[in-house]
Amino acid sequence: MPGKVISIANMKGGVGKTTITVGLAHAFAGENAAAKAMRILVIDLDAQANASFWFCGDQKLTELIESGRTMDAFLEDAVVLNQKRSLSDYAHVLARASARGDLAVIPCSPELRLIEREMTYFLSERRASLKEVENVVAELLVSELGALKEKYDLIIFDTAPGISALTEAALRASDVVIVPTVPDFISNLGLEAFCRSVWWANHSGSELQRTPWVAANMVKDTKHHAAMLAEMRAESQAEDAGFKMFRIEIPCSEEIEEAGARVREAEGAAAAAFDPGASLLFAAFAKEIADIINVPAPLTEPR
Ligand SMILES: Nc1ncnc2c1ncn2[C@@H]1O[C@H](COP(=O)(O)OP(=O)(O)O)[C@@H](O)[C@H]1O
Ligand SMILES: [Mg+2]
């Protein structure tokens, strides 16, 4: 069966997109009831390269950037230089840590921002409208994903805040779009507009592809968070709801924050490991997703 694609996206930065990308990648690569060794690919679409750094470490990432093995290098090669390239050749396989499955990443570098602009200029010089530029990127991604889905069981896009041509292309190619959100009033202001833009990006897709799934993250034991969560849940269950909500509520936890802080020292694969408690939490989250997109669900009990 071809692999499934998920995107982690939100208009806002700092809501946990990268943390959740890493947590889910590890959870899906872990043990599952079907005893299937899952092949997971993370594709970093954020020029801040946080996920790339988290998975590869500073040294390896620098090496990959220097040898042109990044998402931005692929886009430059394939679109601007018009060379025949296969995105799957840009994947970097990570050393197996405790996971049973295989984890790979297509990293990006801060150059991604420049390449995106360069692509737009390059294509618009050829009288392509902005819409056509978006279509070129989207078609390229979809055709590359065709090959990647044969090699991987699950592909996870970590996206940049906002909506770029690249993010939009990823949303369009996804089986499900996950929107991490902090349940406070300010964070929620842009949520509805963002969910609408997901809906529009995928308007020709299935109901599942069109409807973003909100995941509450950094949840605190406060009255304000509880009230916002209740409001959001009610909204997600309304008849004309623009989004659905996962049952899980990821707490604001020191363990999760610490995992991010450890990345600097740990240089690469092992860096991404969360402590057992956080790992079980991400496994429970991954199970909800697995049931939606029909892939093997990670075990949610410690052995
Ligand atoms: N559930 C959580 N509990 C505590 N800290 C978190 C949690 N989720 C994310 N963080 C922290 O919040 C910051 C932003 O998270 P990040 O995943 O980089 O967000 P984004 O990718 O949306 O910009 C990081 O320092 C991360 O460690
Ligand atoms: Mg990020």
pLDDT tens for each residue of 275-284:
889 999 999 9
Kindly write down the DSSP assignment for every residue of the chain, as one continuous string: ---EEEEE--SSSSSSHHHHHHHHHHHHHS-BTT----EEEEEEE-TT-HHHHHHHHHHHHHHHHHTT-SHHHHHIIIIIS-----GGGG-EEPPP-S-SSEEEEE---TTHHHHHHHHHHHHHHTT--HHHHHHHHHHHHHHHHHHHHHH-SEEEEEE-SS--HHHHHHHHH-SEEEEEE--SHHHHHTHHHHHHHHHHHTTTS-HHHHS-EEEEEEE-SSHHHHHHHHHHHHHHHSTT-S-EEEEEEEE--HHHHHHHHHHHHH-SGGGGPPPHHHHHHHHHHHHHHHHHHT-PPBP-S--
CA-CA distances (angstroms) from residue 8 to 13, 45, 104, 117, 131? 12, 10, 17, 22, 23
* Structural domains for the chain: 4-284 (3.40.50.300)
- Predicted pLDDT of residue 203: 78
pTM, two decimals, is: 0.95
Q: What is the pLDDT of residue 245?
A: 97
293 lines ligand 1 (CB under 6 A): no
Pocket test for ligand 1, best of 11, 19, 24, 221 (most atoms within 8 A of CB): 19
How far out from the chain centre does Cα 97 lie? 21
- CB atoms under 10 Å from CB of 261, counted, come to 9
| Cα of 182 from ligand 1 centre, angstroms | 10
Q: Which atom of ligand 1 is nearest to the CA of 252?
A: 3
Predicted local confidence at residue 124, as pLDDT: 80
Query: Which two three-digit tokens encode residue 284?
Result: 């429970």
Q: How remote is the CA of residue 51 from the centroid of ligand 2, in Å?
A: 7
**Residue 98, pLDDT score:** 55
Whole-number CA gyration radius for the chain: 18
Nearest residue (by CA) to ligand 1, atom 17, is 16
pLDDT for res 238 = 93
Ranges of the chain with pLDDT below 70: 95-99, 127, 267-272, 302-303
pLDDT value of position 153: 96
| Distance (Å, whole) CA 166 – CA 171 | 9
> Is the minimum distance from the CB of 268 to ligand 1 under 6 angstroms?
no
Looking at residue 25, its pLDDT comes to 95
pLDDT at 99: 55
pLDDT tens per residue, range 80-101: 898 999 999 999 998 665 557 7
Q: What is the pLDDT of residue 206?
A: 83
253 lines ligand 1 (CB under 6 A): yes
Please check whether residue 10 is in contact with residue 187, taking contact to mean a CB–CB distance below 8 angstroms.
no
pLDDT for 302 equals 65
Say how far apart CA 23 and CA 17 lie, in whole Å.
Answer: 10
